[in-house]
Structure 1
Amino acid sequence: MSLPSTQSAVRFDHHGGAEVLDLVEVPVPSPGPGEILIRNVAVGLNFIDIYQRTGLYPLPLPSGLGKESAGVVEAVGEGVTRFKVGDRVATATAPVGAYSQFHLMPETAAVAVPDDISLEVAAAVMLKGMTAEFLVNRAFHVKQGDEILLHAAAGGVGLILGQWAKSLGATVIGTVGSEAKAELAKAHGSDHVILYDREDVAARVKDITKGRGVAVAYDSVGQDTFEASLASLKRRGTLVLFGNASGPVPPFDPLRLSRGGSLYVTRPTLFDYVATVEELDASAAALFAVIRSGAVKVEIGQTFPLAEVRQAHEALAGRKTTGSTLLIP
């Protein structure tokens, strides 16, 4: 079957709110050397998409959007050896442009999707799941007996990370914004749940841990939770900041880390942990393994047609979503 000449894709030419996103018709690209053309079956929605749309993480404009998708290889360029036409693949790294029917990618930026993992699950979990993988295994090595704090425990990364950390023997303390999200977090690894807008998070953490504090706090919220995260750590504890859902953390004096108990703060990004093909394949393999084992169950909370991309962004930014959100081209 021959490929169409045009496709529907999301584009924007200036930074701003969800209203800057437009669904337009663009040419279907042809793969060059080392590239593959993917027909997207499902596309994952992530906070990094919002950061790029608003300009917090600015992109050269005009631009497409989206890093996470899963689909089928429709064409390959010269010299491609990792994949062939018909292979099931998923992506979670640059270049952006996954909000589209077809997506051109370097072969080194895609991974093979095992036959026992659906493409919808792959699209829902690649970026968030590999993020959880490096967070629990490498940014901080979670081990049996650790007590951890997990903000946004009912979000896309939170539901995966909570289950993964629980499977490693950790006690997971999750924070959420509603009773419904509390139940979801409890069903996905959280042993204790704190309603962050009704309770003093740090005080509750110290109460739960009998004054010890947590070994690590995973914080994707940023500005609104930074102080509570620092105050929740035990001596030599680690704060892993991996998002800014409420805005960036203000500058702070590093001397506070000494006064707080020789604390550590790191601001990692997935792309530095899957910088090589070997790292990418290893992270994806670890992710697929925990899904296959049943230790991590993927929660697809909501789906939107690609044409409703603005509504999808508004729902995610407004913290009205649970689990993973998919766009369907």
Structure 2
Amino acid sequence: MTATSSHPQARQALRLPRDFALITVAIDAVMVLVNMALQLWPDSPNAEQLRSAYALPGVWVPMVFSIGMAWVLAAALAWSHGRNALEKRGVDSVARLPQPRVRYGAAYVVVLLLNFYALSPLLYDLQLLFMPGGRLHESLGDTSMRAAMPVFMFLQSVAQLIVLVLGVWVAAWFALRAGRADASDTRGDDVPAGSSPRRAVALVGASVFASLQMWSGAALSRWSSVSQGLDGAGLLVAWVVPPLAAFALAFWGGWLGATAGLSRVRPFRAVAASVLAFALVQIGCIAIALAWLALAVWLHGFNSAGSLVGFALALVLVYTLLAVLLTRAATRGFYRRYL
């Protein structure tokens, strides 16, 4: 770290990644609270019905953890963009930016409003097509709709993920675009060694991986009846444990794949590596599970509860290994030129 880092402006610039993350979560929280207040206001239509629905564990548990996972992902992305700016331009150049926090907050609010008033109504209209009485329901029938509904829910989550990733990037780009001309005379080697880009890569990748795991699980739960009989405690375990485990495994794999010699974060590469790793993990687990089931049926191996438990434990072990190894390989592949 150079001597300029001891100046007040330099210290303020070094706090920019953290401030971006805090601003992101604060704005998201305010938007959620305002939306909930408008929905549950006593004079608003359907307020009593919504209050009764939100009191059900099957409603508030998925909603709370989905919102929380989105906040974690948005905060990690915002932090990584701020970190990437320090690496690319240097502390002195970032310190000379005019009000980057205010500009970021204003741009992020605009992004959220566009998402709320443009994308969300569009996705809701598309979702109505799959509901009973919708156009697709009438033409496809119940059996086809049961298969199409989880696919649509997962694709809807992917669309929201893309909007979230691009929205944070747009806000960060707007906040950091000023002062680009003077970035060429400053290098990013005065960034403190304690804020490693390796950690940022692993954090972003793990957040994306865990988000995809949660949202794909939510889509499958609408298709299957496994989670319908769970009570409040069971729902909490079902919504807490898988995302936390996925986050830990992906963080470990991303940390191993980034290696200590990484010089810059490059957030979009972390996102792409995580998406690729997640897709490969799901494909690998499905292929191994189908092969195991086919072999068990051929050998008549599923004649007891113990064999089913063994199959489940083996699948968990396979998922653990694939999540770490494939995240490591995907991260290293995307960052190979920058090690």
TM-score, length-normalised on structure 1? 0.21
The higher relative CO (CA closer than 8 Å, separation ≥ 6) is in 2
**Greater helix percent: which structure?**
2
**Greater strand percent: which structure?**
1
> Of the two, which has the highest radius of gyration?
2
